[in-house]
Each structure stands twice: as structure tokens, then as C-alpha cells.
Amino acid sequence: MSIEIKMPALSPTMEKGTLAKWLIAEGDTVRSGDIIAEIETDKATMEFEAADDGCIAKLFYADGSDDIPVGAVIALISAGEEEEDSPPPVASATDAPPAPPAPEPAMPPAPVPAPVIDAPRARLADKVKVSPLAARIADAKGIDLAPIAGTGPYGRIVKADLRLPEASPALVRGEAVLAAAVPVELPPPADIPYRTIANSTMRRTIARRLTESKQSAPHFYLTARCRLDALLALRAELNAARGEGASKLSVNDFLVKAMALAMIAEPGVNVRFSTDATYWFERVDLSIAVAIEGGLVTPVIRDAGVLSVSAIAAQARELAERARGGMLTPQDYAGGTASLSNLGMFGIDAIVPVLNPPQALILGVGAGIEQPWKVDGGIALATIMDVTASFDHRAIDGATGARFMAALRGLIENPLRILA
């Protein structure tokens, strides 16, 4: 019996992947849980485990093969079973050759007994009941898996068993709208020296998803100019109290907490639009943009509204280090109810960000810049920071967005409320 190994969906947005490296070869024996390949997703390079025991019968793609669709068969595992119609002969007690059997009268066909599953395979069947992709879909859509009979190997529940309603790909991806607007790709000018670097899976995914975001979600933008001096003073005081050698709190750590609290104060921005309903989230999970080699990723700080600034700082630092080391797991960047993108450390005055689909809110943060400002009834220098939020107008109205921005500015300019 041969079992198909298929290209897995290792992230919620993954449609194609690159088979970076096989860690096994044809003829190798593997067991469930063995690492057999490294697969490059739109977020990171992930290790891929075997789900079944057996011998690698065939590898269909070479190392470095890219654009492999999710669900495509990439290898075959042979379970090593004997053919049922050719059972091995049973030796006699004396090892003598058996005599030719005497003719027997014709008998009606007897029912074929059900194959006996050996104990290791039975244990494997108990262990693997649902594929990772089907499990993620069922969790996201609230599907009860108990009454579903699996059609995958050993009765595993696979995506097809969920019997999801068919959707028009053109409507889902907006291709019906985009068909007339497909860009014409022209070669580079012949008289200008250049070098060609193939687009990575991550770069192609970023391009596709952000193009879809701008063309399918009607953005609107609100900007607030926030005085940062009180927050900077509080940050300096807290960092001094932490002592030498302790990790320092960043402005971004305060902003993550302030954004989460502002979203709790104005829950109408903690939403997601779909055709038939708008989902209102009861927890703020913030995606934070982290620049890495070849693109960016957005790991998620879960339930940021209830975390202390110190806890946010520790999580953000760990996630950023793992992101730059290519060590993020799908759980690290799955979900997220809104995003924060801070370019202030690069000296950027302001940023107008593109929504991170399917989220309905992203906050762009610029640098704090000293400039003339009204201070205590007069004009003095103050540190001013521009924050610009992009909203999905299908789910969020202008007044709702304005209340969120007012709450955010109030927290930034009165930072003790962030710590309360």
C-alpha cells in the first residue's frame, strides 16, 4: 500500500511552497514524527514531519523546487505490506514439498475476511485522526469533527471530508475585478546594467496579498499627532530602575500596550469583515511587523491588552529574534486581530500602511521629532510623533476610527494610564 505525502499548508496564507531540502532519500525507512524535509513558506523555512511509518518509495520533486501547490503529492511512502492475493506459502512440519491438491467440488464463494491491521498501525490510526490543515479549518469554522468519517490514510479526516461549500475562486480572490487590470510586465532597459534575483516565496506572497488588500478592501486613513515627551520620560525612569544589564523597555512596547487598550476602549475597530457577517473579537491579538532578510513577517502578541509592558517587551524581543533566525512556527504568526508597523527607528516622519488581510486595522508609527508646539500656553519645543491608522471601511466607519485614534492619543500623552 502506498501513502501519498502532500505539500502541507504550513501557514494560514500559504498556497504554494518551495521544497528547500529533502532530509531523506528513496529507499529510506521513516517513522511517524521523523523530520523528512525543509519547506520554505511565505513566512519562514519549516521542518516537515512524516505522519506515517514506511519506506520512501518515490520523491517527485528535487531540492529547491518552488511553486509547488499546497496539496500536490511530493512523495510516496510504501507501507511494506504483502499483496493480499499472493499470501506466502505455509511450510509443512517436515519441510517436504507439498503434494498437489486433489480437485475439490465447486463451492459458492466465501466472503473475504477483513484485513487484520497490525498493532503498530492500529496505534498510528489512534494517534493520527485529522490532518493539520483540516484541524485548522475546523477550528476556524467551528466544525465538530466527532461525527465525520475520515477518508484519508488510516481513516484520517482530511480537508475534503469537511464538505466545505464551493466558492468561486474569481470572487474569493477578486480576479473577476482584476482581470482587466493585469499589469503588463516589461523587460528591463537593455542599456542599463542589472542583475536578476528570483523572487522568493515570501516576496511573491507579500506582493500578491498586499495587491489584493488595496484592490479589495476600501482603505481610509486617520492621522493623529501625539506629544511623546511624557512617555519618553516615563520610559527613561523605568529603564533606570531596572538596573544595569537588564533588558530595556522600548517606545514600541508602550505603543503595543496603548494600541491594545485603545482597541478595548473602542471595540468597533477590533473586527473583521466577511460577506455575510462582521466578526467582533473579544481579545486583542496584535501582529507586530518585523523586518527580516528578504521581506517581513508579523508574529502575534496574544491578548496584549492584559499583558504588562514588561511582558510585552519580553515577548516582542523573543519573537523578533526567532523571526530573524527563521525559527517562527505557524502558531507564532497565525491569527492577529490588528497590526502595528513602526518605522520610527529608521527616522521616518510618517507611514501610511497597507492593511494586512484579512485584518481591518493597521497602525503605522513614525519617529518622534522635536518641533515647535503649544506647551503650557506658550510655544516651545516638544517631541511629536505621527501615527496613521488604515481602516477597512467595509467594517469600520469614520467616527469609530476617530474615537479609537482619540483614545490612542490620550494614552500616549498620559502614559501612566498605560501602566494602570
CA separation for the pair 210, 175 (Å, rounded): 14
Treating both helix axes as pointing N-terminal to C-terminal, what angle do 251-265 and 229-242 enclose, rounded to 10 degrees?
120
Q: What is the dihedral of CA 299, 305, 307, 309, to 10 degrees?
A: 90
CA separation for the pair 149, 132 (Å, rounded): 16
Q: Tell me the C-alpha to C-alpha distance, in Å, between residue 250 and each of 231, 313, 317.
A: 10, 7, 10
Dihedral sign from CA coordinates of 338, 342, 343, 349: positive
Tell me which of 393, 400, 402, 413 is the catalytic residue.
Answer: 393
CA separation for the pair 52, 77 (Å, rounded): 8
Q: Is 219 one of the annotated active-site residues of the chain? A: no
Q: Quickly count: other Cβ atoms within 10 Å of residue 350's Cβ.
A: 17
Q: Report the catalytic residues.
A: 393
